[in-house]
Chains A and B, each alone.
Chain A
Amino acid sequence: MSNLRSYKLIVCVLLLLSVDANKLMAQEIKYIETGMPDLLNPIDGAREIVGVRILQMLYRGMIAPNRMGEWEPILTLGDPVFDEELMTLTFHLKEGLLWPDGQPITAEDVVHSYEIYVDPRSKYGNVDVFENFDGVEAVDEHTIRFALKRMDIRSKVRAGFFIMPSHLVGDSTYIAPENEYNRILTGAGPYVLKSIDENHIEFVVNPKYFKVPPSIQSVQMITNPVEDIHKALLQAGHIDLDPVVRPRDLPEYQADLNVELLPYDSQSWYGFAYNCKRGILRFREVRQALSMAFHRAEVLRATFADQGSLLSGPYTQSSPFFNHKIRPYPYEPGHIEVLLDSLEMIDTDGDGVREFNGEPLVLHMVLSMRISQDNKDICANFVQQLKSHKIEVIVDYQEHNSWYEKIFYERDYDITFVQWKFDNASNIYPLFSQTQQDPGMYNIVQFEHDEIEELLERFRNTTDGTERTEVGKRLHELLHFENPYTFLWTLQHSTAYRIDNIRRINVDPFYYFSYIDEWLLEE
């Protein structure tokens, strides 16, 4: 009798365990963002950081950086091979790779994807990375050969673009908004799209994923523009993860035993961009004065609780091109007066605003309504501090689309606030080269400088690592001096997640979800 009771007890325990196992198998995680790009294909989605995170769930390239920053093969058999003259680069895809619908991943898909990236209609923001490629061909079903314009052993890095299925995208090398592919978004990543609407995406595990499938079967992304709500939802357990937490919320998360914070480098920098071809901003001294007029250290401390570091140029401290000899512009009110007075920008009529050539010194700052409240406060601080130095700034908040047009197409602004995010390539060429000033391109400050232009070309073309580092540091120094931006800071971001649901979380600073296939759900 007692044996029977024990037997029943064991069966009950096993049944309970099996119920738990079933529950685990079906588990999902839910995370939240403030918004979503309108288009999520690899070209358009990459314009916003939310899109970059989503794309990482769905797509992979032939090669990708590992945790050490070293580029390693993902979909290829080993490293790519150069020919003897180092003028071609050949990749061999692994055998048996399949798209989620069962179709094979072939060289033709890679070639077609490359052609989409470089098609002028796509307006890919980082098209400059393909500058050294002189064409690509599918040698056979699994072999792709890139022709190079010049010898460059770093060319393999440029081939890390996301691969798209040509049979689903269609024949065109431009993904128009009406293309059905925008609704099905298939890639070689760990997840596939199950459903998508304006503020909700559901991903499920890719059945044909080339590696061990992730243990998290389903991921849901929801959007809510109100950041206050994000915290409430995470703490209440209605979502499991918030990729970017506001600094003001950190203390509350720290006090919450169910939530864990994971800091990571944002790999981005924030700055005030100056239109270097307009009015008094043509003068370097004026731009320097504006940088000195802003007490960045105090604002960083007050707004972001020192969760970041001040910048002296376009490279962050973790970059090999960061020039340690260059210090950020200090807050020096006295020096500003000297600089501006030397340019004969003086308040002659005593109205509290300086004049130049008889005209009052009034600058127009154009901002997007979509920037966060923290960044709005930073801009407000900047304007106030300039006002104390008798420089009037009129702030014009525009709807996001209108702001984008004014800044990126029309260049109709004096000052604006921007955030630039970089992957490991740290490519600043699009931001400062004279050749990148056309409408839609990223040299929004319309900066021109012969020596810097030459250095940018050298930086891009040189294969010598040492020379490259030296050039990078010199660029950092010169751009600090010329000051087309007030280089504000780089921030340390934190992600918050519920420890009662997820563990072993590891994030990539740029792509975020690179290692999601290693995350585990709490048992």
Chain B
Amino acid sequence: MTNLSLSENWRQARLRPDNGVWARVRSLGTLRVVFVVTLSVIYASLFLITFLADIDPHERFRYNKDIVFNEDSMLAPGGVPGGVIESSGVMVYASPNEEHWLGNDERGRDLLVRLAYGARTSLTTGLVCVTFFLIAGTSFGVIAGYFEGRWHSLFVYLFNIVNTFPILLLLLLAVIVIGATVGVEFIFLRIYLLMACLGFFSSPKLAELIRGQISSLKETAFVQASVALGLKPYQIIGKHILWYECRPLIVVQSAYMMGQAILVETTLTYLNFGLEYPMVSWGLMFRSMAGGIMTGRFQPVIVMAAIALAVYFFHYLAGILNDLLATEERRG
């Protein structure tokens, strides 16, 4: 038997399209994977840039006659690209140019820079939401699934009640309490507390799913065998049920929750109950530029697209992770 080198192995594998990476990609949906991978790279880059580069997202720019605009850029009356308030010299709603690749917003700030900082804020607040979602959902789900009888009924009862109410209503009640309780010294905590509340209020959905899995797996042979072997309940639940069986479920729900968190942050900020200066977020950008939709500005469309793309990103990421993890289980 010929002992092929690594590179030869790889070349041979490449020539056989049914094996390896490409087969996996095709099975998951090529477009979907490309979309998710591309956006992941973009988000990671934006994240890094905002930390490493010393750029002020609030800086307003003035027209500089050396700036080159695209020939087909939108021109306001008077020949000044995009400018609404020409007399100030500030680049209000300016078209894309060589210094500001996506143009400028309604206050002359760089749109791309603000989108980057907005991505950081939206993703950070989303992560806080998902963290609490996971902790609360898993804990409640495990308790409800493990304990039988009254505890089980109580938790199911509580899940039903929380699921009955609109999340937005619960969050607005949280706005009142957090606004009244959190002092000005910890003002930066308010949005994170709100996102934590969002995660907490949404956790019954995850808890229900985990509870269902635990209840259905309790009587299976492998669990019975684990009990017989003397494994502790936390070992059975933690490793065998949560990690091996519920992992796809948890990961998928978390991904969906990230998308939801971005939408909720946008909604709360639009209603003036969410983020404010000095933070930068997509919701804040959308609120201040929403009127531009009605005057044909493309900048609000870009912000809307960024939000929509992020939601689709997490939606498709959830789908891919679900397929990947499910396939792994089948193979395992």
- Listed in ascending order, the chain A residues whose CB lies under 8 Å from chain B are 226-228, 231-232, 247-248, 251-252, 255, 298, 301-302, 305-306, 364, 366, 369-370, 373, 376-377, 379-380, 383-384, 394-399, 402
Contact check, B88 vs A396: say whether CB atoms are below 8 A apart.
no
Contact check, A379 vs B277: say whether CB atoms are below 8 A apart.
yes
Say yes or no: A399-B179 contact (C-beta < 8 A), given A228-B291, A248-B84, A364-B184: yes
The one of A305, A373, A395 in contact with B287, judged by C-beta atoms closer than 8 angstroms, is: A373
Contact check, B60 vs A302: say whether CB atoms are below 8 A apart.
yes
Contact with A along B61-91 (1 / 0, CB 8 A): 0000000000000000100000011011010
Closest to A306 in B: B87
Residues of A within 8 A of B185 (CB): 394
Contact check, A377 vs B291: say whether CB atoms are below 8 A apart.
no
Asked whether B294 is an interface residue with its Cβ less than 8 Å from the other chain, the reply is yes
Say yes or no: A383-B277 contact (C-beta < 8 A), given A228-B290, A305-B87: yes
Complex formed: what's the CA distance from A255 to B84 in Å?
Answer: 12
Residues of B within 8 A of A248 (CB): 84-85, 106, 291
Asked whether B272 is an interface residue with its Cβ less than 8 Å from the other chain, the reply is yes
Contact check, A376 vs B87: say whether CB atoms are below 8 A apart.
no
Asked whether B273 is an interface residue with its Cβ less than 8 Å from the other chain, the reply is yes
The one of A231, A251, A397 in contact with B291, judged by C-beta atoms closer than 8 angstroms, is: A231
The one of B107, B176, B187, B293 in contact with A394, judged by C-beta atoms closer than 8 angstroms, is: B187
Identify 6 new A-B residue pairs, CB closer than 8 A, beyond the known A228-B290, A377-B107. A226-B290, A248-B291, A302-B88, A305-B88, A377-B277, A383-B277
Residues of B within 8 A of A227 (CB): 291
Min CB gap A231→B, angstroms: 7
Closest to A400 in B: B272
Contact check, A302 vs B277: say whether CB atoms are below 8 A apart.
no
Closest to A384 in B: B58
Complex formed: what's the CA distance from A383 to B187 in Å?
Answer: 15
Contact check, A369 vs B272: say whether CB atoms are below 8 A apart.
yes
The one of A232, A305, A369, A394 in contact with B294, judged by C-beta atoms closer than 8 angstroms, is: A232
Contact check, B287 vs A302: say whether CB atoms are below 8 A apart.
no
The one of B87, B106, B272, B277 in contact with A380, judged by C-beta atoms closer than 8 angstroms, is: B277
Min CB gap B281→A, angstroms: 14
The one of B85, B180, B293 in contact with A305, judged by C-beta atoms closer than 8 angstroms, is: B85
Contact check, A396 vs B106: say whether CB atoms are below 8 A apart.
no
Asked whether B99 is an interface residue with its Cβ less than 8 Å from the other chain, the reply is no
Contact check, B288 vs A373: say whether CB atoms are below 8 A apart.
yes
What are 9 A-to-B residue pairs whose CB atoms are below 8 Å? A228-B293, A231-B291, A232-B294, A302-B92, A302-B107, A369-B273, A380-B278, A384-B58, A394-B184
Contact with A along B282-304 (1 / 0, CB 8 A): 00000110110111000000000
Residues of B within 8 A of A228 (CB): 290-291, 293-294
Give residues of chain B (165-182) contacting chain A, Cβ–Cβ below 8 Å. Answer: 176, 179-180
Min CB gap A30→B, angstroms: 19
Residues of A within 8 A of B278 (CB): 380, 383-384, 395
Closest to B279 in A: A395
Say yes or no: A397-B107 contact (C-beta < 8 A), given A248-B85, A306-B87: no
Complex formed: what's the CA distance from A399 to B272 in Å?
Answer: 9
Asked whether B145 is an interface residue with its Cβ less than 8 Å from the other chain, the reply is no
Asked whether B98 is an interface residue with its Cβ less than 8 Å from the other chain, the reply is no
Min CB gap B184→A, angstroms: 5
Closest to B184 in A: A396
Asked whether B276 is an interface residue with its Cβ less than 8 Å from the other chain, the reply is yes
Closest to B59 in A: A384
Complex formed: what's the CA distance from A366 to B184 in Å?
Answer: 9
Contact check, B288 vs A302: say whether CB atoms are below 8 A apart.
no
Contact with A along B86-124 (1 / 0, CB 8 A): 011010100000000000001110000000000000000
Contact check, A301 vs B88: say whether CB atoms are below 8 A apart.
yes
Complex formed: what's the CA distance from A248 to B291 in Å?
Answer: 10
The one of B180, B272, B273, B277 in contact with A395, judged by C-beta atoms closer than 8 angstroms, is: B277
Complex formed: what's the CA distance from A378 to B87 in Å?
Answer: 18
Residues of B within 8 A of A366 (CB): 184
Residues of A within 8 A of B107 (CB): 302, 377
Complex formed: what's the CA distance from A349 to B232 in Å?
Answer: 54
Most chain A CB within 10 A, of B179, B187, B272, B278, is at: B272
Contact check, B84 vs A251: say whether CB atoms are below 8 A apart.
yes
Residues of B within 8 A of A394 (CB): 184-185, 187
Residues of B within 8 A of A369 (CB): 272-273
Complex formed: what's the CA distance from A301 to B272 in Å?
Answer: 26
Closest to A396 in B: B184
The one of A301, A370, A379, A396 in contact with B87, judged by C-beta atoms closer than 8 angstroms, is: A301
Complex formed: what's the CA distance from A369 to B268 in Å?
Answer: 12
Complex formed: what's the CA distance from A298 to B185 in Å?
Answer: 31
Residues of A within 8 A of B85 (CB): 247-248, 251, 301-302, 305
Min CB gap A304→B, angstroms: 9
Most chain B CB within 10 A, of A301, A302, A370, A380, is at: A302
Min CB gap A272→B, angstroms: 15
Residues of B within 8 A of A226 (CB): 290
Min CB gap A367→B, angstroms: 8
Closest to B277 in A: A380
Complex formed: what's the CA distance from A98 to B106 in Å?
Answer: 53
Closest to B292 in A: A228
Min CB gap B107→A, angstroms: 6
Min CB gap B132→A, angstroms: 23
Give residues of chain B (286-327) contacting chain A, Cβ–Cβ below 8 Å. Answer: 287-288, 290-291, 293-295
Most chain A CB within 10 A, of B84, B90, B273, is at: B84
Closest to B287 in A: A373
Min CB gap B144→A, angstroms: 36
The one of A302, A364, A402 in contact with B179, judged by C-beta atoms closer than 8 angstroms, is: A402
Residues of B within 8 A of A255 (CB): 77
Say yes or no: A398-B87 contact (C-beta < 8 A), given A232-B294, A383-B278: no
Contact check, B277 vs A398: say whether CB atoms are below 8 A apart.
no
Residues of A within 8 A of B184 (CB): 364, 366, 394, 396
Contact check, A398 vs B58: say whether CB atoms are below 8 A apart.
no
Min CB gap A24→B, angstroms: 32
Residues of B within 8 A of A376 (CB): 276-277
Residues of A within 8 A of B92 (CB): 302
Say yes or no: A397-B58 contact (C-beta < 8 A), given A301-B87, A302-B85: no
The one of A298, A397, A399, A402 in contact with B276, judged by C-beta atoms closer than 8 angstroms, is: A397
Min CB gap B316→A, angstroms: 32
Complex formed: what's the CA distance from A364 to B293 in Å?
Answer: 35
Residues of A within 8 A of B273 (CB): 369
Residues of B within 8 A of A397 (CB): 272, 276
Complex formed: what's the CA distance from A379 to B278 in Å?
Answer: 10
Closest to A379 in B: B277
Residues of B within 8 A of A396 (CB): 184, 187
Closest to B295 in A: A252
Closest to B270 in A: A226
Residues of B within 8 A of A232 (CB): 294
